């Protein structure tokens, strides 16, 4: 029986099961592999269509809020997979993208677009751990609402995401040993300023959002 959940407006799976699917997605597993993880004591899960659908919805949402890059920004992909292989900055991943794009023939244009957006993201963020990606995805989905509804509060998520990106850059800089101390401190200070400004914008957006909500009307005593 379908019910209201955190990630879908009407879902057959529990939030915990959907989070397992999200983690499988973050780990780069296929929908088929994610489905196998949902099996109980070797018995196949009945949620096959749901798992494939959730994978597509995750890709769509992450592209909608621009967590995934828009493939339209990559003119090479629009022309041909051969040009993509020649121009994409990570040659091995470019080959994989070209090969997988070829295998997606027959899929809808939108489905291909979502898949390619994911491939480009993974190529550009190959150093990102699956745990970090999972937490980013989970936060994005929790903030922007059910996957099968239009995204909400994407602007708030963008500010939160921007802060997280800056914080990760600071951690990377502090872990570096070959950077001169002066430039090191200057870069870290710059990111800290950006974080402060982003937090101010986020607080303002939250205040504006709260003030726009009309007060509840009380009943007659």
Residue 108 has a pLDDT of 65
Sign, Cα dihedral of 154, 25, 95, 108: negative
Residue 3 has φ and ψ, to the nearest 5°, of -145, 165
Contacts 24+ apart (CB under 8 A), 28-31: 28/122, 28/130, 31/55
Residues in the chain: 221
> Which pLDDT tens digits describe the chain residue by residue (221 residues)?
455 678 888 777 888 889 999 999 999 998 888 888 876 545 555 666 788 889 999 999 999 988 888 877 765 544 555 554 455 544 454 455 555 555 555 556 788 888 888 988 888 788 889 998 999 899 888 889 899 898 888 888 888 888 888 887 888 888 776 656 677 788 888 889 888 988 888 888 777 766 655 554 444 44
Q: What is the pTM of this model?
A: 0.69
Angle at 154 between CA 152 and CA 158, to 5 degrees: 160
Look-up of token digits 């999200």: 22
Distance between CA atoms of 63 and 59, rounded to whole angstroms? Answer: 6
pLDDT at 103: 53
Question: What is the tens place of the pLDDT at every residue in 162-179?
Answer: 888 888 788 888 877 665
CA distance 21 to 18: 5
Alpha helix locations (H) across 65-129?
A: 75-79, 81-87, 91-103, 109-124
Whole-angstrom Cα distance, residue 178 to residue 39? Answer: 48
Q: For tokens 């659908």, what's the residue? A: 53
SS3 214: coil
């Amino acid at each position: 029986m379908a019910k209201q959940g955190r990630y879908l407006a009407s879902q057959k799976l529990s939030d915990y099961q959907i989070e397992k699917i999200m983690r499988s997605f973050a780990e780069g597993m296929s929908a088929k592999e994610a489905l196998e993880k949902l099996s109980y004591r070797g018995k196949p899960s009945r949620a096959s269509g749901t798992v494939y659908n959730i994978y597509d919805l995750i890709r769509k949402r992450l592209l909608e809020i621009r967590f995934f890059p828009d493939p339209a920004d990559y003119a090479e992909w629009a022309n041909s997979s051969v040009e993509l292989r020649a121009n994409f900055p990570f040659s091995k991943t470019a080959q994989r993208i070209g090969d997988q794009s070829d295998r997606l023939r027959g899929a809808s244009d939108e489905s291909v677009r979502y898949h390619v957006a994911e491939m480009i993201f993974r190529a550009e963020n190959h150093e990102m751990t699956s745990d970090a990606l999972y937490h980013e995805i989970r936060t994005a989905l929790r903030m922007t609402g059910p996957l099968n509804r239009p995204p909400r509060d994407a602007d708030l998520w963008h500010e939160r995401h921007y802060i997280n990106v800056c914080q990760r850059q600071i951690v990377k800089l502090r872990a570096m040993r070959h950077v001169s101390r002066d430039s090191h401190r200057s870069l870290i200070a710059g990111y800290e300023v950006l974080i402060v400004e982003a937090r101010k914008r986020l607080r303002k957006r939250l205040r504006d959002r709260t003030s726009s909500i009309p007060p509840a009307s009380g009943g007659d005593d």
